[in-house]
Amino acid sequence: MKWISLSVFYVLLSVFTLIIFSSQCISQTRYGEFETLILNLNNYKESLLPKDSLQSNYLTDLIEKWRLKAVYEEELVRCLYKASEGKVIYNFNFQEIVDNQSKRQGKNIILDSITPSDSIALSKNYDLFMLMSQQLVQSTYPYDTNEEKVIQQIKHYKLYKGQTIAEIGAGNGLHTILLGLTELPLKIYSNEINRYQHNYLMTIINPKNKFLATSEIIPILGKENKCKIPQKVDAIIIRNTLHHFSKTKKMLKSIKKTLNPNGKIFILEGYAQESNCSLIKTNPEIKELMKNHGFRLEEEIILGKGYILTYRI
């Protein structure tokens, strides 16, 4: 009898161990090496949520107000993001925000019904809208992280510990922040020519932002014809920016000089918020441009709405 119960005990123990082991495997394959990135992004997002429940409800109601008016989800997020940006980055007053947005995207239901207090509430949540605008988090409370989306592009770079990289035309720095949230300690130069965006990035990258503590992020105010990165780097990321260069020839020369001989350049196109950007170049035009400036195409992938071209020199 004793022998039988001992056997039953061992069988149960093995089944239990198997269940625990397989559930660990599932979570490993789900997150893999990007587990820390997702956790860090989650924590970062949590830190951005309004702590005050009244403010939090106000934000949720505000988003719902326009969602109920049947604004397309993508359009909704883009408008909220842009409306909050006017105040935070450019310090526009309410009327300037409305005028500026109307000029850029025409009249819409949000601009028609936004109030000054809505605008203040939106601008207090700019960083959250920034994450929503890239679909890294959802636009419905509690703004869950879109895990697949978070790792998609970062995975492709195959970066490793201790590398020095640069992002050219980083805008308000969201992609730089995402890179900084990986568990890899990286040295990241975040270059931008717009001084308002550059100043904003400087305010986020400070020692108090503990979510960005692993990597060293250095904002660089570049010039139209040079990136001004002070050392050679292992990888250069140019996301939605190549088609914005006004002095393309000089800029690409400067980028070439900045790359280590065995380094890689990643050109991401098609991920722009403004799909109607008048400067946009076609895929063959980008390839032709890079080829004419002596860059060697190593790989091309289509990812989500856009594509990534990997180049070597």
Ligand X SMILES: C[S@@+](CC[C@H](N)C(=O)[O-])C[C@H]1O[C@@H](n2cnc3c(N)ncnc32)[C@H](O)[C@@H]1O
- CA-closest candidate to residue 125, choices 37, 240, 47, 224: 47
- Our finding on whether 244 is near ligand X (CB under 6 A) is yes
Contact range with ligand X by CB under 6 A, out of 3-11, 46-54, 164-172, 280-288: 164-172
For residue 240, the 8-state DSSP code is S
Among residues 139, 182, 241, 258, the one that binds ligand X under rule CB under 6 A: 241
Applying the rule CB under 6 A, the residues between 63 and 92 that interact with ligand X are none
Q: Measure the CA dihedral 24/26/32/34, to 10°.
A: -100
The reply to whether 219 sits near ligand X by the rule CB under 6 A is: no
Residue 171 in tokens: 């805008």
Q: How many residues bind ligand X (CB under 6 A)?
A: 20
What's the min distance (Å) between Cβ of 105 and ligand X?
Answer: 15
Which tokens belong to 38? 């997702």
Angle at 252 between CA 250 and CA 253, to 5 degrees: 60
Across-strand partners of 168?
Answer: 191, 238
299 binds ligand X (CB under 6 A): no
**C-alpha angle 218-121-78 in degrees, rounded to nearest 5:** 65
- Determine, following the binding rule CB under 6 A, whether residue 171 of this chain makes contact with ligand X: yes
Q: What are phi and psi of 160, to 5 degrees?
A: -135, 165
Binding to ligand X (CB under 6 A) within 248-277 occurs at 251, 271-272
Q: Which of 240, 255, 258, 266 binds ligand X (CB under 6 A)?
A: 240
184 vs 252, beta carbon nearer ligand X: 252
**Residues between 178 and 217 that touch ligand X (CB under 6 A):** 191-194, 197
Q: Given the complex with ligand X, which of 114 and 136 has the nearer CB atom? A: 136
Taking each helix axis as running N to C, give the angle between helix 195-204 and helix 73-90, from 0 to 180 degrees, rounded to the nearest 10: 90
The verdict on 42 binding ligand X (CB under 6 A) reads no
To ligand X, the closest distance from the beta carbon of 239 in angstroms equals 4
Between 164 and 241, name the residue whose CB sits nearer to ligand X.
Answer: 241
Annotate each residue in 220-239 with x if it binds ligand X (CB under 6 A) or - if it does not, as one string: --x-x--------------x
Q: Which residues of 116-139 are buried (b: 16+ CB within 10 A; e: fewer)?
A: eebbebbbbbbbbbbbbbbbbbbb
Q: Which residues contact ligand X by CB under 6 A?
A: 168-171, 175, 191-194, 197, 222, 224, 239-241, 244-245, 251, 271-272
